[in-house]
């Protein structure tokens, strides 16, 4: 089976599920009801963590380290040069180049702070292998038509070829945490209510 990595996240986390089309199928599946015979958790799992753990693959951690190093050296130097050049043009109160550079500087510094937080407060390595879906788990899901796909439950920085990504802050990822193989899981997204079946759970290794 070929895999397609798609990530589509909104800033307010109203989604967090990749949307893709293949051979006439759409993922997420169309809104469905719940058939009898399986355990179903329409509102997620009692007792799951209220604040998603920051978990990173070793590759993701290295990539973020490299980005942090680049922004705090080359990035800051380049912004400083642009600001100095803009100031040399005169009054900065009506200087579009200066305003643009200051805006970019603010965005870059916000990214630097986020990277530092992720690097200082993340767990790196394999997830638990107790059979329940946790952050860092690879989950094989089936839609109502029986079509199967593998998801990695993790934050967007952990994009891995071969897996769709379910953000633990999005509706699907939130609903999956705590599930086990054989469970039906329903979740609500802007397109309606959806149901998927958990076929298998394993920790990500890589």
Q: Using CA atoms, how far apart are residues 169 and 173, in angstroms rounded to an integer?
A: 7
Per-residue pLDDT at 8 exceeds 50: no
Per-residue pLDDT at 79 exceeds 50: yes
Cα 60 to Cα 95, 116, 155, 166, 182, distances in angstroms: 39, 14, 10, 16, 30
Residue % of the chain over a pLDDT of 90? 48
User: What is the CATH architecture of 58-123?
Assistant: Orthogonal Bundle (1.10)
CA nearest neighbour of 170 among 152, 157, 189: 189
CA nearest neighbour of 16 among 170, 197, 190, 133: 170
Total count of residues recorded for the chain? 206
Residues 16-36 have pLDDT tens digits of 444 333 333 334 443 444 333
pLDDT value at residue 205 = 84
Question: In the chain, where does the domain assigned CATH 3.10.50.30 lie?
Answer: 20-52+127-203
Rg (CA), the chain: 21
Choice among 31-45, 50-64, 116-130 with the minimum mean pLDDT: 31-45
User: What is the CATH architecture of 20-52+127-203?
Assistant: Roll (3.10)
Question: In the chain, where does the domain assigned CATH 1.10.287.180 lie?
Answer: 58-123
- Report pTM: 0.62
Structure tokens at 97: 């180049």
Q: Using CA atoms, how far apart are residues 17 and 5, in angstroms rounded to an integer?
A: 11
Judge if the upstream peptide bond of residue 28 is cis by omega within 30 degrees of 0: yes
């Amino acid at each position: 089976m070929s895999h397609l990595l798609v990530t589509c996240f909104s800033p307010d986390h109203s989604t967090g599920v990749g949307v893709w089309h293949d051979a006439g199928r759409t993922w997420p599946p169309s809104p469905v009801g719940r058939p009898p015979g399986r355990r179903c958790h329409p509102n997620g799992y009692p007792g799951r963590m209220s604040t998603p753990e920051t978990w990173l693959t070793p590759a993701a951690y290295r990539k973020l380290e490299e980005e942090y190093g680049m922004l705090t050296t080359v990035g800051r130097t380049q912004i400083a040069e642009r600001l100095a050049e803009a100031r040399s043009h005169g009054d900065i109160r009506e200087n579009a180049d200066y305003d643009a550079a200051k805006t970019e500087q603010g965005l870059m510094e916000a990214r630097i702070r986020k990277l530092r937080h992720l690097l200082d407060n993340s767990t790196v390595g394999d997830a638990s292998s107790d059979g329940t879906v946790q952050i860092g788990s690879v989950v094989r899901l089936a839609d109502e038509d029986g079509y199967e796909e593998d998801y990695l439950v993790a934050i967007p920085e952990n994009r891995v070829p071969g897996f769709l990504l379910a953000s633990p802050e999005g509706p699907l990822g939130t609903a999956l945490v705590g599930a086990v193989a054989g469970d039906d899981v329903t979740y609500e997204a802007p397109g309606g209510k959806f149901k998927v079946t958990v076929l298998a759970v394993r920790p990500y290794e890589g």
